[in-house]
Amino acid sequence: DAGVIQSPRHEVTEMGQEVTLRCKPISGHDYLFWYRQTMMRGLELLIYFNNNVPIDDSGMPEDRFSAKMPNASFSTLKIQPSEPRDSAVYFCASSLLAGVTDTQYFGPGTRLTVL
Amino acid sequence: QKEVEQDPGPLSVPEGAIVSLNCTYSNSAFQYFMWYRQYSRKGPELLMYTYSSGNKEDGRFTAQVDKSSKYISLFIRDSQPSDSATYLCAMIRRGGSYIPTFGRGTSLIVHP
């Protein structure tokens, strides 16, 4: 398997623009997670899905952020409008289940810069 | 204050040194403890997982948990330049969803 695939790898945009990040989880994994990583705050969970259904979105910073999972092989994280403070690395991860011993496999991340 | 505290470093050591990486936490409900390794420009990958107090060894890596002190450690013996990465601790609460809470990560540099 190719692992978790994210696109784009890098995104530079201007404040106020819409940004869409994409993720393809590992085939057969029922759980999908979106994280944001910054130097100041570390790795933070934004939202996670089980069988395409959002389970916990309490980490989504504000209404400008939205995430969807229209099918088992695709998810998007959208920021509209984007702001400079949204600059971070966004990771998608997937796991077979969500038990303690169920490893989350992370994608390579999307490095977002909002000017 | 974050629930999980981790010194960001960087920690710079010579090749062959014993490395000690640490995390402290405030929530006594944390029951499961993990260490992830993250190479530059890559996503984190699970390195080791332990449950409750005690030690767990895997090759050159030893994870140690002291629940009474709310303190966990990762030791790396005979460190190699290839160990240079950021190491993140992560913890899962007893009960509820098994979603980990991560530390900020410690940057480790092993120089030849």
Q: How far apart are CA B31 and CA B91, in angstroms?
A: 7
Q: What is the DSSP letter of B100?
A: P
- The 8-class DSSP code of residue A102 comes to -
- Give the per-residue pLDDT at A97: 80
Give the span between the Cα atoms of B107 and B91, in whole angstroms.
19
- Inter-chain residue contact A93 with B99, CB threshold 8 Å: no
**How many angstroms separate the CA atoms of B90 and B35, rounded?**
6
Q: Which residues contact A14 (CB under 8 A, 6 or more apart)?
A: A82, A114, A115
A103 touching B, CB under 8 A?
yes
Q: How many CB atoms lie within 10 A of CB A49?
A: 22
Residues from chain A that touch B99, judged by Cβ atoms under 8 A, are 33, 45, 48, 56, 98
Question: Which pLDDT belongs to residue A72?
Answer: 95
Residue A68 CB-density burial (10 A; 0-12 exposed, 13-18 middle, 19+ buried):
middle
Q: Which of B45, B98, B103 sits opposite A98 (nearest CB)?
A: B98
CA A95 to chain B, closest CA, distance in angstroms equals 11
On the question of pLDDT at B96 being above 80, the answer is: no
In chain B, alpha helices (H): none
Minimum distance, in Å, between the CA of residue A97 and any CA atom of chain B: 10
Higher pLDDT, B18 or B51: B18
Average pLDDT score over chain B: 92
pLDDT at B95 over 80: no
Whether B11 has a pLDDT exceeding 90, the answer reads yes
**pLDDT score at A26:** 96
pLDDT one digit per residue (tens) for chain A, 115 residues: 689 999 999 999 999 999 999 999 999 999 999 999 998 888 999 999 999 999 999 999 889 999 999 999 999 999 999 999 999 999 999 999 877 777 899 999 999 999 9
CA B22 to chain centre: 6
